[in-house]
Amino acid sequence: MKPVHSLFIVCFALFHAHAIATAQPAKPGPDSRVAQVNGEAISLGEVDAVLNQRATSLTPPTAGQVRQLRYEALTTMIDDLLLRQFLKEYGPKVDPAEITQRYAALESSLKTQNKSLADYLKELNQTEAQVKASMLLLLQLDRYVKEHTTEVDLKKYFEVNKDYFDKVTVRTSHIVVRLSSDAPPAEREKAKSKLSTLRADLLAGKIDFSKAARENSDCPSAPKGGDIGFMFRKFQNIDDRYAKEAFVMKVGDLSDVVETDFGYHLIKVTERTDGKPATYEQSAEDVRDCYAEELRVALLNQLRKKSKVQVSLP
């Protein structure tokens, strides 16, 4: 199973996308700046364009849901812009003719599907320049990764993450109290305390996990008792700290309070499959893809620390 490389994917797939077109319009206009990344602006209209492109439900979200969806999309767009800025200055150089060639190949491919380039751009809600910029980013990122990867690195990575390549899976349920990244310490402590108390009640048998999830979790999985199904060790659009905890637990175990980028969680493992032992040679392509994603995440972590990012999302 390969990771999905998407420039605008809305993080944490457990929280399904909602249409925002029918929501109460926000007071700021589409040209309002909602973030600045090293001096480059991202507008509210750009954020909403990404959400409208990925909306899958006709159910009107609440104002709070709209803000959360915007925040998640904006976070990913900031990361995307950080990568663009870095690769523009330090990344491998790409001949513009190569991008032109790839764009022409895209147009030819669309024709075989009886689709025009204009229709494709309309579906994406993007311009030709935006699509070409995305092509450039992906190409530069791919070459950057190759320049910073050795066969020794890949084989070591395979051994460290063998449970993933063996396709070991676990099924988990969780209770999450969601928090934004800029939540104040007092709010974080309150959320952590709530889950710590709830954990003690669960261990004492005062309440079962399904009921606790239905009554306390901020996830769409709450009505199902927090069940989010089976997951692989990595690359499920779930914060790695969640996966790392889940994969060392036994069936029936209840985790301590786990902090991720999305808040605080209590995790319960309900099933586990052992998968099938794999060799490096069998998994080489997946290993390269996964290692590339790890490098991308590591690079982003460095860029976030040293960059000037201002967020003013209403």
Q: What are phi and psi of 81, to 5 degrees?
A: -70, -35
Question: pLDDT tens digit string along 16-46?
Answer: 333 333 334 445 677 889 999 999 999 999 9
Higher confidence at residue 14 or residue 310? 310
CB 111 within 8 A of CB 120: no
CA nearest 68: which of 115, 128, 10? 10
Strands (E), the chain: 33-37, 40-43, 169-178, 227-232, 258-260, 263-273, 309-311
Quote the mean pLDDT of the chain.
86
Residue 167: closest CA among 235, 266, 217: 235
| Residue 267, pLDDT above cutoff 70 | yes
Q: What is the pLDDT of residue 248?
A: 87
Burial 159-198 (b: 16+ CB within 10 A, else e): eebbbbbbbbbbbbbbbbbbbbeeeeeeeeeebbeebeeb
pLDDT for residue 272: 93
| pLDDT at residue 27 in the model | 57
The Cα–Cα gap between 5 and 266 comes to 28
Q: What is the largest CA-CA distance in the chain?
A: 66
Mean pLDDT of 258-269: 93
93-146: pLDDT as tens digits: 999 999 999 999 999 999 999 999 999 998 887 899 989 999 999 999 999 999
Q: Which pLDDT value is given to residue 28?
A: 65
- The yes-or-no verdict on residue 14 having pLDDT over 60 is no
Which of these ranges, 12-21, 79-88, 172-181, 275-284, has the smallest mean pLDDT?
A: 12-21
- Domains by residue range for the chain, with CATH: 169-273 (3.10.50.40)
0.75 exceeded by the pTM? Answer: no
Question: Among 76-90, 173-187, 189-203, 225-239, where is mean pLDDT lowest?
Answer: 225-239
Checking if the pLDDT of 259 tops 60, the result is yes
Report the pLDDT averaged over residues 64-75.
Answer: 89
Count of Cβ atoms closer than 10 Å to residue 102 Cβ? 17
- Give the pLDDT confidence score for residue 234 in this predicted structure: 60
Tell me: the pLDDT tens digits for 141-191?
A: 999 999 999 999 999 999 988 888 998 999 999 999 999 877 899 999 999
Q: What is the mean pLDDT of residues 73-77?
A: 92
d(CA 65, CA 72): 11
Mean predicted confidence (pLDDT) in 42-65:
81
| Lowest-pLDDT range of 17-26, 176-185, 204-213, 224-233 | 17-26
